[in-house]
Structure formats: structure tokens, C-alpha cells
A and B are shown apart, each in its own frame.
Chain A
Amino acid sequence: MNVAELAKILDAKVLNPEADTAKEVKSGYVCDLLSWVMAKGAPGTAWITVMNHMNVIAVATLLDMACVILPENIDIGEETLSRATEEDIPVLCSGKTSYELAGLLFAQGIPNPVK
């Protein structure tokens, strides 16, 4: 499944459609502690987090993640979003909670990240 297809399933909006939404989603993860994500995240991970600052994009970029998903309609600043676009990281935003989003990913058979 790619990021665009995942966005549809999650009823999420891609905030920067200029970024590559054809990227394959290989795994899912939910965590708001950045170093914890650094330890567990992997290439192709769809990362659900309530954090919406620049360092989220840095972590997603350094690990070659598929996308970042913001739950509960959390907004992201203009500057952070344009960095995400520069780094080709799609940022999705949904009205659902992290719990619901993870449940939907899980139901699609998307596994935990594999290092």
C-alpha cells in the first residue's frame, strides 16, 4: 500500500501533496518520544505522532520513513510543512485519534517496523 492509498483509508488529508505519496508504507508506529522513534523506526514506516515541530521531520527524514500522520486535527506550522516537502516526507492530518489510526493500520495488515 502506498501513502496516498493509506490516506484514503484513514480519512486523512495530505497537507503537502507535492511530496511523494506513491511511497510504499511498509510498517506503522505510534510514539511521541523522538529518541524512542529513532531506536524503533525504519525505512517505509508510517509514523503517528502528536508532535508537530521541525524535529519530527528531521527524524522521519533521517530514517527514510514513508510519512508522518498527525491525529486529532493537529496543525503543523508553515515552516515545518515546507521542510517536510523539501525532504519529500508527506504529512497527513486526520480527525481520528492515534488509537483509531493505529487500529486502522493494523487492520490493513501493516506490521511493526523491522530494522
Chain B
Amino acid sequence: MPLIAEVFEVKKDDFVSAGEVSAKIKRTLKKLGVDSAVLRRISVCSYEVELNLVIHSLGGTIDFSVDQDGVTLLVKDCGPGIPDLNLAMREGWSTAPESVRTMGFGAGMGLPNMKRNADEFDIQSTVGVGTEILMKFHLK
């Protein structure tokens, strides 16, 4: 039985509220007394995945839950999907358009940052369908 289960919607190209879901998740976990180092790792992952939804996807959801074992982020979008996951996971590889690169996005570090900071990381993607990312964080 989860202690907390919330679903956040993230819209494509919504730079005005970009980062707000991550801020909410951080606030909730801080109230629960989650250790600050673990909290920062969760924040890095939620932020990177949230911004990828804004920049690269057609929109999606972040399913945030907490139970005895830890924190889970399940992220699903409605496309366009990633053609080559090995390439996408590589540091420095990005298809970010020029318009967002001028804002400081597009280092090609988001997915590698998620993989490094999550205790469990899984990504599945189908072109024309969408991308699904599952991240888990253990709480001691």
C-alpha cells in the first residue's frame, strides 16, 4: 500500500511551469523527512525527466509514489518515441532544437544523469507510440 501516490501531467513546450512538478515532489519528500542526499538524487532525476517531457515529447505523465521500500517515478509519454536508445543514453548526444539550446538545454546529459542518480533505472521506447521510464530510489 503506497503512502503517497500522485500523477502529474507535463505538457509539451510548457517552459513556464517546467520544473514545478520536481519542486512539488521535493517538497513532499522533504516533509516526509527523506535524507537530503537521497532527496537531491531524486530531484535530479525528476527534473531531467520532466524537462525531457517538455522539450522532446508530445506530453506525458509522471507517476510519483512512495511506499515502505522507497520512491518510484514512472514516466510515460505519448510519443514520438526514441529510435536508438543506446545513442540517446550516450553523454553529449542530443536532438534538442537550437531554440532550447540557447536556454542552456541540450548538453545530452539528462538521461545519463538519471541513470547515475537512480538506484534502479529502466527505459523502453517505441517510435510512434512513446517512451516509458521507470526509476526507483531506496530509502534506508
Q: Are B109 and A62 in contact (CB under 8 A)?
A: no
**Taking CB as reference atom, which chain B residue is nearest A86?**
B23
**Taking CB as reference atom, which chain A residue is nearest B91?**
A39
* Dominant secondary structure of chain A at its interface with chain B: helix
Q: Are A53 and B40 in contact (CB under 8 A)?
A: no
Compute how far the CA of A59 lies from the CA of B104 in the bound complex, rounded to whole angstroms. 12
Could you tell me which residues of chain A, from 12 to 69, have a CB within 8 Å of some CB in chain B?
Answer: 32-36, 38-39, 43, 49, 51, 53-56, 58-59, 61-64
Among B23, B110, B116, contact of A58 (Cβ-Cβ < 8 Å) = B23
Total chain A interface residues with beta-carbon distance under 8 A = 21
Identify the interface centre among A43, A49, A58, A87: most chain B CB within 10 Å of its CB: A58
**B80-124 interface code vs A (CB 8 A; 1 in, 0 out):** 000000000000000000000001111111101100100000000
Q: Are A35 and B43 in contact (CB under 8 A)?
A: no
Among B18, B36, B110, B112, contact of A54 (Cβ-Cβ < 8 Å) = B18
Q: Are A54 and B16 in contact (CB under 8 A)?
A: yes
Among B16, B22, B43, B109, contact of A33 (Cβ-Cβ < 8 Å) = B109
